[in-house]
């Protein structure tokens, strides 16, 4: 084998290795993007479930007019205004009279007070 053939084989091996690393890099980028999308969908689903839960509790409080309170745990900041609840990037609507509230993540107490539903951090 002469020096020219040996150099060509080495060059081909380097090109093959670079190509393999490029394919590996593309696979890793694609996998990372898919993982981010799945996490985003799971987070939105969790926010939707929490929003629905709070909306249901508000309806229950308005219907029963009792002095009971219900405590729930939220993973995101929550805002309640007239007929809208927002949790993270998700919004949902409810019927009833709620005092405006801007709450941090964590435990929230929901109770009826003087004909309106009150949400507050505990």
What is the C-alpha separation between 43 and 25, in angstroms, rounded?
A: 27
CA nearest neighbour of 51 among 86, 82, 99: 86
Q: Mind listing the pLDDT tens digit for each residue in 87-104?
A: 988 999 888 888 999 999
Between strands 90-93 and 116-121, the pairing is unpaired
Instruction: Tell whether pTM > 0.85.
Output: no
For the chain, the maximum distance between any two Cα atoms, rounded to a whole number of angstroms, is 96
Is residue 28 scored above 80 in pLDDT?
yes
Q: Mind listing the pLDDT tens digit for each residue in 30-87?
A: 999 999 999 999 999 999 999 999 999 988 888 877 778 999 999 899 999 988 999 9
Q: Mind listing the pLDDT tens digit for each residue in 5-27?
A: 666 778 888 999 999 999 999 99
């Amino acid at each position: 084998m002469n020096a020219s053939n040996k150099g060509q084989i080495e060059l081909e091996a380097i090109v093959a290795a670079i190509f393999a690393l490029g394919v590996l890099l593309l696979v890793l980028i694609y996998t990372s993007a898919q993982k981010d999308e799945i996490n985003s969908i799971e987070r939105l689903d969790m926010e939707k479930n929490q929003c629905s839960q709070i909306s249901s509790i508000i309806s229950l409080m308005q219907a029963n007019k009792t002095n009971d309170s219900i405590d729930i745990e939220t993973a995101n900041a929550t805002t309640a205004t007239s007929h809208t609840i927002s949790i993270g990037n998700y919004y949902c609507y409810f019927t009833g009279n709620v005092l405006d509230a801007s709450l941090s993540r964590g435990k929230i107490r929901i109770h009826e007070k003087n004909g309106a539903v009150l949400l507050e951090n505990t």
